[in-house]
Amino acid sequence: MERSFKTEVAALSMGAGEEFHGEGILAVTKALLQSGVSYIGGYQGAPVSHLIDVLGDARELLDDLGIYFEPSASEAGAAAMLGASIHYPVRGAVTWKSTVGTNVASDALSNLASAGVLGGALIILGEDYGDGSSIIQERTHAFAMKSQIWLLDPRPDLPSIVKAVEQGFELSEASQTPVMLQLRIRACHVHGRFHCKDNVAPEISTRHGIEVPRFDYAKVNLPPSTYEHERQKVEQRWPAAVRYIQEAGLNEVFEGEEESVGLIVTGGLYNGVIRALQLLGLADAFGRSRIAIYVLNVVYPLVSQEVIDFCKSRREVLVVEEGQPNYIEDAIAAILRKDGQATHLHGKGILPVSGEYTGEVLLNAMARFLEAAQPRSLDLAPVRAASGSLALGRELSAQAIGVPVPNRPPGFCVGCPERPVFAAIKLMQERMGQVHVSADIGCHTFGTLPPFNVGSTVLGYGLGLASSSGVAPLMQRRTLSIMGDGGFWHNGFTSGVVNAVFNQHDSVLVILRNGYTSATGAQAIPSSPSQPATGPNALDIEAALRGVGVRWIRSVPSYQVDDMLQVLQEAMTTQEPGLKVVLADGECQLERQRRLKPQVARKLQQGERVLRTRFGIDDTVCTGDHSCIRLSGCPALTVKDNPSALRKDPVATVSESCVGCGLCGENAHAATLCPSFYKAEIVQNPGWWDRVVDRMRRSIIQRLAGKASPVQEFSA
């Protein structure tokens, strides 16, 4: 995994009255344990990947409480787990990255929401939106409205998050409806404190199982049951949810001294709004605002009476809702219009119609709203001054920098085993002409960026091969598809490989077998080679391919660029029909380094011999052509001033971040580039033989160079 929580999970055993201090994700886990949850599942994806990691590290505690935990094969599998709560009074929670994860889980969620639940069902979503997002810019809100699943958006502080988890289960049971709880990146990783409760061992658990299974046709999603489900949603579940939200006080009102204006804010944006008000002099350091704020910790359903009560005494109200469409703003406008309220509602227009609501965006919006609203008791001069100073600061910063700051798109890590594969594909296209490449979601999506620019479409996780089925028959030469091993097990095997074999596609698939779902922190997948969780149960991708009829399979070490190039050319030109699969073998370099560094540190501490490899570039040989950089794009491969007084072009150099993967040398060989690269082996804690060999080498080199300087003993 990207990081270990083995130390932090000890705090999950805290009892009533103790104060918990830690990260948002740990607070969510503690809240689940305090809620008497019987089972938990999920699929990794930022920003909730760490929740899977925490649960994995807390397996011993979960087992003691009788809680079943399963890292699901996909979001659909995780959502289907919640079926346990349809018939039985058990609480279950699942997690994944939205909205793409919710799309995958949509079939199960629609059926779950239709049948309704007896035990509380909570779906914890990483609402990955804005500048920190790695996905398409959509929101979960639409799905919640479509299937009538209640949506919580708690204020991003630990007490509010814990309360939302605990009351999310209660809301689910009170209304017999699954509940979604969305957490932005900052909420997942915010640090804070809250007072604990005792962990609750569920009554129905792995230690105390269900004795008598239940059957109720009324819960089966077939007519006429589905018609009754729709009636229950509108006439029973919705009113029950509204009653619980009001009685439990899930939403919050923070009164202010200025009565003519107010703010309606979704919970996840509360911290940003308060910070903007502080900078404008309208809130103190403790968050007490001079303007009243109605915080929607439940963004669906809205409680009409709460909205009316907040707005009826206020002349101007601003709705702070991030993203499009304006679900909340439009719904509030409809509520006020039906009630005959004269409150002037502001929203988009004052606020941007798209994009993340950063601190600067919110500050400027608050200033514009107050200028438009002209509140009776507020002096707007300090507000104008604060807003103007921000604009002046940006202008001065731009002048100081002098040039625009370049964009920094994501890219492959140093030594990534996927980089040489894309270098080989690029070389193949230089020799054979352009090929249509169907890209996929994962680390390998970075292959669409410079210097590779490989990949014409990205349609979904594990769908690289499936997305080529429409274009492949229309191409004059074979298409090439990309898929990661995580995507293979998630969706690609059935949607891509099985579909291609069944329909007799004649195309090429490259599976990047790095051993993990690397983009989300190197969580285990069914074929992970070294994860304790998989053990002897690890599955074999090649066996799975042969099992469904793929005959042309080649396995090539990722870092052997020349071999990969030859195999790709063979796959594109062979007369053998059908799907051709190239397995690119190379362990995720980050995971490899995390595994090796503790071992190396231990050896060094014990005085054992350690050999590490580094690569470098001979300044006197490098011509300054930089084709090596254009081919690999490795961050460790950069430029420096030419040491020669006779040449002005900067020369290539290898930085200290090099992990010794050897790609630069492999590229130089495969592309017939200059011979300026060299390989160096660095020995730490050298033995007597290493010292003897080093002296001999230095002596020979000095003699060949015609030097008479004394030989310096090797040391490291």
- Pair 95, 117: CB distance under 8 Å: no
> Residue 321 pLDDT more than 60?
yes
Rg (CA), the chain: 30
Residue 492 and residue 486: Cα distance in Å, rounded?
9
> What's the mean pLDDT when you consider all of the chain?
89
Mean pLDDT over residues 149-164, rounded? 96
Residue 183 and residue 125: Cα distance in Å, rounded?
6
- Pair 35, 200: CB distance under 8 Å: yes
Residue 85 and residue 350: Cα distance in Å, rounded?
43
Q: Which domains does the chain have, with CATH numbers?
A: 8-247 (3.40.50.970), 251-401 (3.40.50.920), 419-591 (3.40.50.970), 609-685 (3.30.70)
Mean pLDDT over residues 655-670, rounded? 80
Q: What is the pLDDT of residues 602-624, one digit of tens each?
A: 999 999 999 988 888 888 888 88
Instruction: Identify the weakest region by mean pLDDT among 78-92, 168-182, 210-224.
Output: 210-224
Instruction: Identify the weakest region by mean pLDDT among 53-57, 656-660, 684-688.
Output: 656-660
pLDDT top residue among 410 and 608: 608
- Cβ-based neighbours of 4, under 8 Å, separated by 6 or more: 53, 57
Q: How many CB atoms sit inside 10 A of residue 400's CB?
A: 7
pLDDT of residue 627: 81
- Pair 442, 435: CB distance under 8 Å: no
Residue whose C-alpha is closest to residue 124's, from 54, 180, 86, 85: 180
**Dihedral (CA of 134, 136, 139, 145) sign:** negative
> Residue 269 pLDDT more than 60?
yes
Give the three-class secondary structure for 495: helix
Q: What is the pLDDT of residues 669-692, one digit of tens each?
A: 777 777 888 888 889 999 999 999
pLDDT of residue 622: 85
Residue 150 and residue 222: Cα distance in Å, rounded?
23
pLDDT of residue 618: 87
Render 341-372 in DSSP notation, one character per residue: --PEEE-BTTB-SSS---HHHHHHHHHHHHHH
Residue 604 and residue 713: Cα distance in Å, rounded?
20
Q: Does 202 sit behind a cis peptide bond, omega within 30 degrees of 0 on the bond before it? A: no
Question: Would you place residue 548 in the very low, low, confident or very high pLDDT band (cuts 50, 70, 90)?
Answer: very high
Prediction pTM value: 0.89
pLDDT of residue 533: 43
pLDDT of residue 392: 67
**Cα dist from 196 to 61, 189, 190, 465, 667, whole Å:** 16, 19, 17, 48, 56
Q: What is the pLDDT of residues 432-486, one digit of tens each?
A: 999 999 999 888 999 998 889 999 999 988 999 999 999 999 999 999 999 999 9
Mean pLDDT over residues 48-64, rounded? 90
Question: Would you place residue 530 in the very low, low, confident or very high pLDDT band (cuts 50, 70, 90)?
Answer: low
> Containing H/E element for 98?
strand 92-98
> Residue 547 pLDDT more than 70?
yes
> Residue 95 pLDDT more than 90?
yes
* % of the chain exceeding 70 in pLDDT: 96
Mean pLDDT over residues 555-565, rounded? 93
pLDDT of residue 710: 52
> Containing H/E element for 510?
strand 508-513
Question: Would you place residue 716 in the very low, low, confident or very high pLDDT band (cuts 50, 70, 90)?
Answer: very low
Q: What is the pLDDT of residues 39-52, one digit of tens each?
A: 999 998 878 888 98
> Residue 649 pLDDT more than 60?
yes
Question: Would you place residue 703 in the very low, low, confident or very high pLDDT band (cuts 50, 70, 90)?
Answer: confident
Mean pLDDT over residues 329-339, rounded? 96
Highest mean pLDDT among 365-374, 399-408, 578-587: 578-587
